[in-house]
Amino acid sequence: MSIYHPFAARRRTLAAVGTVAALALALAACGSSDSSKPDGSAMPGMNHGAGSVPSSSASSPGGAFNDADVTFAQQMIPHHQQAIEMARLADGRAADSEVKSLASAIEKAQDPEINTMKGWLKSWGKPLPSASASSSMGDMPGMNHGSSGMAGMMSDQDMSDLKSAKGKDFDKKFAQLMIGHHQGAVIMAKDEQKNGSNPGAKRLAGNVIAAQNAEIEQMNKIVNRLK
């Protein structure tokens, strides 16, 4: 006849409960190992989060472009840089308040456009124009008044004459030279609108045409007033 031992029975009960709890925890861990990743990345071949999107599917910052867009940016950058150089000469030389205001407006408008076009060239993988382009291009045959791509660029002599002028003489020279410079920019911008394909470049070209034609009209009035 077996003897009932209450303490032994209790130990067997506790051991059974512990075993069941351990099995439950193990099953829960197995079930959650894949479901913890809602994108299914734990499953073979299913790791397709945002970081795995092919780079070719994203457009470059500058968008689609052609050779005309590249030429426009590469040439308009030094063209704008020379305009800014001319505008900065007004400080300490210009006497006419309208000329001073116009010079300031030219610098404020064209400097951001230079940065924009530099960004395009970088995103397109195309070289930036050299730092000396704004001065050297003006001395090339046909470059001063625009039969080629860099229309309206000032020569070294033009810039030297402008630097030497002061007061009313500076005001007249500045307006006269900047008229030719702006006319060159308009020619280049119209060529971009005709032959370019990049939407941003064509929009900037349109802005150049509108803004610089308005300034040409203003400067023609200044020249007539200062006679």
Task: Give residue 100's identity as a one-letter amino acid code.
Answer: K
The predicted structure's pLDDT at residue 132: 61
> What is the 3-class SS of 152-202, one letter each residue?
CCCCHHHHHHHHHCCHHHHHHHHHHHHHHHHHHHHHHHHHHHHHCCCHHHH
Name the residue ranges covered by the structural domains of the chain: 64-225
Closest C-alpha among 140, 125, 215, 122 to residue 177? 215
Architecture of domain 64-225: Up-down Bundle (1.20)
CA dihedral 132, 138, 143, 145 (to 10 degrees): 140
Q: Report d(CA 203, CA 215) in Å as an integer.
A: 18
Q: How far is CA 134 from the centre of its chain?
A: 20
The predicted structure's pLDDT at residue 150: 80
Looking at the DSSP bridge assignments, the partners of residue 167 are: 94
* 118 pLDDT above the threshold of 70: yes
* 172 pLDDT above the threshold of 90: yes
Token pair, residue 133, equals: 């382009």
The predicted structure's pLDDT at residue 173: 98
Question: Coil, helix or strand for 94?
Answer: strand
Angle at 227 between CA 184 and CA 169, to 5 degrees: 70
118, 78 Cβ separation under 8 angstroms: no
* 22 pLDDT above the threshold of 60: no
HSE, CB side, 13 Å, CA atoms: give it for residue 217. Answer: 6
Token pair, residue 148, equals: 């080629």
- What's the whole-number mean pLDDT along residues 22-34? 42
Token pair, residue 213, equals: 């034609």
- What's the whole-number mean pLDDT along residues 2-9? 46
226, 170 Cβ separation under 8 angstroms: no
- pTM confidence score: 0.68
Which single residue is written with the structure tokens 């610098």? 107
pLDDT higher for 148 or 174?
A: 174
Tell me: the pLDDT tens digits for 128-151? 998 765 544 444 333 343 334 489
